[in-house]
Chain A
């Protein structure tokens, strides 16, 4: 029953070992064991959930376990990649050698606080840990020696943290609400969910609106997506992967938990409309920003906004099936985005740029990264047999049952997004020219994660494991949808 304590003790050990170790490789290895320990924590908790810790301030239930898995897997692949990528960054002078330790320390801290956020039961504690992840993400973006990185990092801090303050207002409101309804204020998810029916719906809807603003900034929902393209394109690729795959889930997770509480009351339609509006806005804004985008990483960044919009729409529909597929989409999107960011990372190191115009002879110079980008692009658009196809299709089917005109609108927008990917793809991969660009030999440690992830995305696309099915069903019933 002491799994979380054991994990915490181990993570402290990891931090200490990272501080003491000298080589890049050792630090990388230690961080990798850390990521594995997260997966182990998830696997152990799977049989024992729900587990309460620290005065019920922490709770590991099915949803936390699911998020642990995603986080652990993404961190694992990103860290494998980061090891080799880091050496290259130091070589190019983009990262100072004495900052490598800082880099690994913050990556480990980011992982710890992400796990702790997913394990928090208390809304305020969750808020605090999410803010800490913002801190470390911003730090990791700013670690490279460039004024643009600092700028991107500051933008990320200001937009995310200001929005998070609104979430805190919502938290205060919920506390006041529970105090007036239950006599004693509480912010625990489980107690809120159990007592949701005794809360006043109007008040709860208002609190939800505030909390939604805060967490949607974390997952890049429009109009809070503005810092993301900068942050994604400037951060080291491993970090972009983590922001896009894990931080986005963190925001959606917070929204999902709060939404589950609101769903119990008669305020559900109001909250659902809010989600729907922001979801549509995100897809709309993302699509039209993608259409004229010539920067590969920024294109992928906007696609994250599009996908969080899709997830919001799925949540807005609110049927158990829709929520089920949104949860699955979280995993699918995280894996696919990782493929894309890791591939563009190799291209970026080859050409020192993300601009389509600078990328020449991509197939000849970087065949693997090119294939990764093409397959990842196909996967993110929802082309079968990749995993996003299943989740995206199922969400759209649910949307068809909810409102047909809305489905047509979303389909049109998704089509435009595909056009954007296609046009940039053709531009990049048909751009051949006789130039003597020295080939950058990406080490195995950078290419292997891409191959592994592509295989994973493909396998999950044709085979739906019954374990995941059981876990997702349990989550949906736990959240009382």
Chain B
């Protein structure tokens, strides 16, 4: 049987790893490794839920771990990877506003700010230090996800950012309170729908230049031919 002290230090280690995976997502360019990191992060979250369960014995945590495992470790990454293969891009080179280094700096500043802001708010809940840590790291992860969503251009990366935010909220809720399980399920369904829609739309946005032009050609092919013809004529005259 796992002792409470061991569970606590295990939880702490897992939470830290979750945050590190967030930092990893903030800096990565490689889309495939982004999805895998997200998968890893969700797995770690399920681990956090399980290690909390070993202390708490509340069945909701167990269900939550299972739910996270099925939806976020298996289903969503599978869909995103399929779409990724379809749109045929593997790297997101466009750091829209901030470079990776700057985003890590921003991340650190965000964590410190959250720590400062929440030290007052959360005092009233009389949380233990571990839970305080989890809550602060949860909010930090949410903000990191937001940073990704708004600093990158590729839609797939934005989706990963959004999913990271959601993971941050989940982490936060794990340590703050226990919401009714049905609400957690509904939220996940919701998230799933939004992500699905955004991913499908991303095919329209992120498809490679060639694919887009191919479509474009189909539309204006006669037009183009005409222009080309005129152009040749013009050259012949001069």
Contacts and interface: CB of A to CB of B under 8 A. Distances in A.
A and B touch in the complex (CB under 8 A): yes
Interface of A: 124-125, 127-128, 131-132, 134-135, 138-139, 142, 147, 150-151, 153-154, 157-158, 161-162, 165-166, 168-169, 172-173, 175-177, 179-180, 185, 200, 202-203, 206
Nearest to B212: A147
B124 A203 contact: yes
A291 to B, nearest CB: 26
A158 B195 CA distance: 10
B169 A154 contact: no
12 contacts: A124-B180, A128-B187, A128-B190, A157-B194, A158-B158, A161-B162, A162-B162, A165-B142, A173-B121, A180-B124, A202-B124, A203-B124
A172 B194 contact: no
A180 B139 CA distance: 21
B179 interface: yes
Contacts of B155: 154
Contacts of B165: 162, 165
B121 A206 contact: yes
A124 B201 contact: no
Interface stretch (B103-111, B170-178, B222-230): B170-178
B204 A175 contact: no
A142 to B, nearest CB: 6
Given A128-B183, A200-B124, A173 B176 contact: yes
B2 interface: no
Ordered nearest first, which 9 A-B pairs have the shortest CB separation? A176-B177, A150-B204, A206-B121, A124-B183, A131-B190, A172-B173, A176-B176, A128-B186, A203-B124
Given A132-B193, A151-B205, A200-B124, A169 B177 contact: no
Contact of B125 (A125, A169, A180): A180
A202 B177 contact: no
B179 A162 contact: no
A135 B194 contact: yes
Interface residues of B, number: 36
B120 A134 contact: no
A154 B176 contact: no
Given A135-B197, A158-B149, A168 B187 contact: yes
A135 B124 CA distance: 36
B128 to A, nearest CB: 14
B36 interface: no
A150 B201 contact: yes
Given A158-B149, A158-B162, A172-B176, A203 B197 contact: no
User: In terms of DSSP, what is the predominant structure of the interface of chain B?
Assistant: helix
A172 B187 CA distance: 13
Contact of A154 (B121, B186, B202): B202
Interface in B108-147: 120-121, 124-126, 139, 142, 145-146
B177 A154 contact: no
B4 interface: no
A200 to B, nearest CB: 5
Contact of A185 (B162, B177, B186, B202): B177
B205 A150 contact: yes
B161 to A, nearest CB: 8
B198 interface: yes
A157 B198 contact: yes
Given A132-B190, A147-B204, A172-B172, 19 more contacts: A135-B197, A139-B197, A154-B198, A154-B202, A157-B201, A158-B158, A158-B198, A161-B162, A165-B162, A165-B169, A169-B139, A169-B142, A169-B169, A175-B177, A176-B125, A176-B176, A176-B177, A202-B120, A202-B121
Contact of A157 (B121, B145, B169, B197): B197
Contacts of A200: 124
Given A131-B194, A200-B124, A169 B183 contact: no
Contacts of A206: 121
A410 to B, nearest CB: 30
Contacts of A157: 194, 197-198, 201
Contact of B201 (A154, A161, A176, A202): A154
Given A157-B198, A169-B139, A124 B179 contact: yes
Contacts of A202: 120-121, 124
Contacts of A128: 183, 186-187, 190
A430 B185 CA distance: 57
Interface string B146-166: 100110000100100010011
B96 to A, nearest CB: 13
Contacts of B193: 132, 135
A428 B197 CA distance: 37
A161 B192 CA distance: 12
Contacts of A132: 190, 193
A203 B121 CA distance: 6
Contacts of A151: 205
Contacts of B178: 185
Nearest to B184: A124
A307 B179 CA distance: 35
B205 A154 contact: yes
Contacts of A161: 162, 194
Nearest to B216: A147
For B124, B142, B145, B205, the residue with the greatest tally of chain A CB atoms inside 10 Å of its CB is: B124
Nearest to A139: B197
B116 to A, nearest CB: 13
B18 to A, nearest CB: 16
Contacts of B201: 138, 142, 150, 153-154, 157
A124 B169 CA distance: 14
> Which interface residue of A142, A165, A185 has the most chain B CB atoms within 10 A?
A165
Contact of B179 (A142, A147, A154, A175): A175
A134 B205 CA distance: 19
Contacts of B169: 165, 168-169, 172
Given A162-B165, A175-B179, A134 B194 contact: yes
Nearest to B200: A142
Contacts of A131: 190, 194
Contacts of B190: 128, 131-132, 135
Contacts of B179: 124, 172, 175, 185
A138 B201 CA distance: 10
